[in-house]
Structure 1
Amino acid sequence: MSAYTIGVLAGDGIGPEITSAAMTVLKAAEKRSGYELFDWLELPVGKAAIERYGQPLPQMTKDALRGCSGWLMGPHDSASYPPVYKAERNPSGELRRSFDLYANIRPSRSLAGVNGLTKEADLVIFRENTEGFYSDRNMFAGAGEWQVTPDIVLSAGVFTRRAAERIADAAFRAARKRRKRVSIVHKANVIKLGFGLFLETCYEVSKQYPDVAVDDFHIDAAAAHLVRHAHRFDVILTTNMFGDILSDLTGELVGGIGLAPGLNAGDEWAMAQAAHGSAPDIAGTGAANPTGLILSATMLLDWLGERHSDRRAEKLGRVIDKAVFSALAGETRTPDLGGNASTAQFAEAIIAKLPV
């Protein structure tokens, strides 16, 4: 009997192509391992859902996801949705808020065979995922912005001790399994109360982890240090907007945003979602690099394994992870990495590296 029902949200643009590639790799790895881990549940989201159900994220999709152990989400192209939907939270933001996926975890690793701007990076960003300066999701109802005159707009940032405590705890727990260093990124020198509360709370949580070293950086200094010294960072702990920005930076440093994985995790569910967008300019051409979403899926496997004490899921994630890195070091490459392989061909190259 399968252990986990995995929801599949293909999304827009290149989403269906990379989601299909990720499922193909996971199914092949599952078959070769002899495990029976997954049932797959494909659900409507994005433009296809608008056309059929009149909503980019139908209630039926949200209801079905509550019965899933986790899910894969392809990128969405909410910028191209009809104007009536642009005032709403986009599908990703709505899922993060509805399911309380408070930790956005985005690793960046230098990869053999990939010509990144840095060769020694191995870090992970823990981004608080529910509040901060993201005005579409930091209020109970409505958005945290007000246009008080035609020429004046106020945008609210929300910082709570509870949110800082739980993302800090997740970051320090992860650091214990890595190189035991957490760097807090903030702007408490200017936004003294909001970022001050975040910084103070993170340091309070650090006292529960005396074996983990901790330091902190202003956001501007952190960005500069990452460009020159990314290899010195282990776990970066930061707020919503800063984490979003820094993870794109670190993704480019190691070879490109198409390689950048991510996991949105809460206490009950997790959503594998690559850091990149829907790339509508190459949608349907077969040129998209599926690496980011496939590595996101391995993060989901690791999360499932830890949450359910399931070594099979953890082992399968490691096997796929190793196969991806081995394939990237080979000659089969998608156009963003200087090759001419299609999305499906690169997925097959990964499968060829799986143990028989």
Structure 2
Amino acid sequence: MSKQHEIAVIGGDGVGPEVTEAALAVLEATGAPFNFTHYQAGDGTLEATGVALPQETLDGAMKSEAVLFGAAGACAAQVILRLRAELKAWANLRPSKAYQGVPCLRPETDMMIVRENSEGMYFGGEDEPEPGKATATRIITDHASYRIARCAFEFAIQAGYGKVTAVHKVNVLKKTDTVFLEACRRAAKEFPQVAYEEALVDSVAMRMVLKPEDFQVIVTTNLFGDILSDLAAGLIGGLGMCPSANLGDGPALFEPVHGTAPDIAGQGKANPTAAILCAAMLLRHLGYTDKADAVEAAVAACLAQGQTTGDLGGPLGTMGMAQAVIERLGE
């Protein structure tokens, strides 16, 4: 009998539970040996219990092999940021791939942004030494930079990409980005089969819009990765098309990067594409490559033939699209 993989499911707020339900239906249809346990977190949980991320939920996530998350509302920092920290998920992988049938700015886009998740501007802390003056500290270490660079190169090889671009602002942030780039260069020497380049973040933002095919795998620091990944999402039709994986030393955390969409929550209208693609990333992470390929191919086929939700001009609801994906899994 195949080993049962323990998966913690946290639907969260707004449309989160709905798109997560769609992703679970697809996962179950693949036949992978998963055991799903549901936990609560988010704005509703905060209102009901006084805690946005209950200890029971955190404990469940910690003892699982992977976490499938839906969406976080106003208390996102208390939920998703803490989960990433507690799970020691120091790498954030954000694919941006254009699909046939989805109106978008740049249909040639196919890139992965590998973002350092544990330091940078978001984790150095802020201070207000006097009224009208505030400071923010940027922390960059060789250890974290080398670790994320190796992650980017390893992913490139695994996914068949041929180039990694290290994105920085060393002409201004001379000390911190020198640390980052020196670590990236050291990692690059270990992967001579992958082309390596460096580029300033502002030039990358322009090039992504003008010629996104220039980029395959981008590795960068936390703030730059946060901004560029949303820019990349804009090239392919929006955040509703974007899954993500948070990887590191503990259980992996998979989450669609869209918001809670409270205006359509509970109506069965939410686009589950990103959540279903998260399911594919989860399958791949746990070694079910063929099943991951099948899910991604089924999603692509549905999108190409208009079997989508209303936001993409299709006739289906959330679970209707999930069922359409399931029906195509064997093709």
Same fold (TM over 0.5): yes
Q: Who is 2:212 aligned against?
A: 230
Q: CA RMSD in A?
A: 1.5
Please tell me the residue identity of whatever aligns with 2:87: F
Which deviates the most, 220-229 or 54-63? Answer: 54-63
Paired residue for 2:101, among 113, 120, 126?
113
The question of whether the paired residues in 2 share the 8 Å contact of 1:223 and 1:246 is answered with: yes
Shift of 1:332: 2.0
SS, match of residue 349 in structure 1: helix
The equivalent of 1:123 in structure 2 is 111
Could you list the structure 1 runs, at least 4 aligned residues long, displaced by more than 3 angstroms after superposition: none
Aligned residue among 156, 160, 164 for 1:182: 164
Q: Residue 27 of structure 1 aligns with which residue?
A: 28
Q: Distance in 2 between matches of 1:279 and 1:52?
A: 21
Instruction: State yes or no: 1:318 paired with 2:296.
Output: no
3-state DSSP of counterpart to 2:63: coil
1:170 paired to 2:151: yes
Shift, 1:160, TM fit: 0.9
Distance 2:267 2:275 in 1: 18
Q: For 1:287 and 1:193, how far apart are their aligned partners in 2?
A: 48
Q: Which residue of 2 aligns with 1:310?
A: none
TM normalised by structure 1 equals 0.89
1:227 is displaced (CA, Å) by 0.4
CA distance in 2, matches of 1:154, 1:220: 23
Q: Number of matched residues?
A: 329
Q: In structure 1, what is the Cα distance between the partners aligned to 2:28 and 2:269?
A: 22
How far apart in 1 are the matches of 2:121 and 2:140? 9
Q: Percent identity?
A: 40
Q: CA deviation at 1:337?
A: 1.0
Distance 2:65 2:55 in 1: 18
State the distance in 1 between where 2:209 and 2:264 align.
29
Structure 1 position 161 matched with structure 2 position 161? no
Q: What displacement does 1:48 show?
A: 3.1
Asked if the contact 2:62/2:250 (under 8 Å) is kept, the reply is no
Q: Find the aligned partners of 1:326 and 1:332 in 2 and give their Cα distance.
A: 8
Q: Secondary structure at 1:114's aligned position in 2?
A: coil
Determine the structure 1 residue equivalent to 2:318. 343
Query: Could you list the per-position Cα deviations for residues 177-211 of structure 1 after superposition, in whole angstroms to 9, with x for gaps in the alignment?
Result: 32221001111110111122111211111111111
Unaligned runs of 5+ in 1: 306-312
Which whole-Å deviations, capped at 9, do the CAs of 1:126-158 have from their partners, x for residues lacking one?
Answer: 000111111xxx25xxxx111112200111111
1:274 to 2:280 alignment? no
2:307 to 307, 326, 332: 332
Superposed CA offset, 1:49-106 (max 9, x none) = 224432110111111112110010111002xx5xxxx9xx421100111111011001
Q: Aligned to 2:138, what secondary structure does the other structure show?
A: coil
Superposed displacement of residue 267, structure 1: 3.0
Structure 2 residue identity aligned to 1:48 = G
1:73 correspondence with 2:69: yes
3-state SS of paired residue (1:281): coil
What corresponds to 1:44 in structure 2?
40
Aligned-partner SS, 1:66: helix
Find the aligned partners of 1:318 and 1:77 in 2 and give their Cα distance.
31
TM-score w.r.t. length of structure 2: 0.95
2-side partners of 1:65 and 1:117: how far apart? 37
Contact kept, 8 Å, 1:165 with 1:201, in 2: the verdict is yes
Distance in 2 of aligned mates of 1:335 and 1:149: 50
C-alpha distance after superposition, 1:318-348 (max 9, x if no partner)? 1111111111111222122123421111111
In the alignment, the residues of structure 1 paired with residue 67 and residue 260 of structure 2 have an alpha-carbon distance, to the nearest angstrom, of: 18
Unaligned runs of 5+ in 2: none
State the SS of the aligned residue for 2:211. Answer: helix
Deviations 1:33-59 (A, max 9, x none): xx5x10001011112322443211011
CA distance in 2, matches of 1:243, 1:275: 13
Measured in 2, the distance between the counterparts of 1:201 and 1:303 equals 25
Distance 1:65 1:196 in 2: 36
Q: Is the 8 A contact 1:248 1:275 kept in 2?
A: no
Give 3-state SS (helix, strand or coil) of 2:93's partner: strand
Contact 1:260 1:274 in 2 (8 A): yes
Query: What is the distance in 1 between the residues matched to 2:192 and 2:249?
Result: 24
| Structure 2 equivalent of residue 197 of structure 1 | 179
Q: 1:12 deviation in Å?
A: 0.5
Identify the residue that residue 308 of structure 1 maps to in structure 2. none
Distance 1:281 1:131 in 2: 34
Take 2:309 and 2:78, find their aligned partners in 1: how far apart are those partners? 29
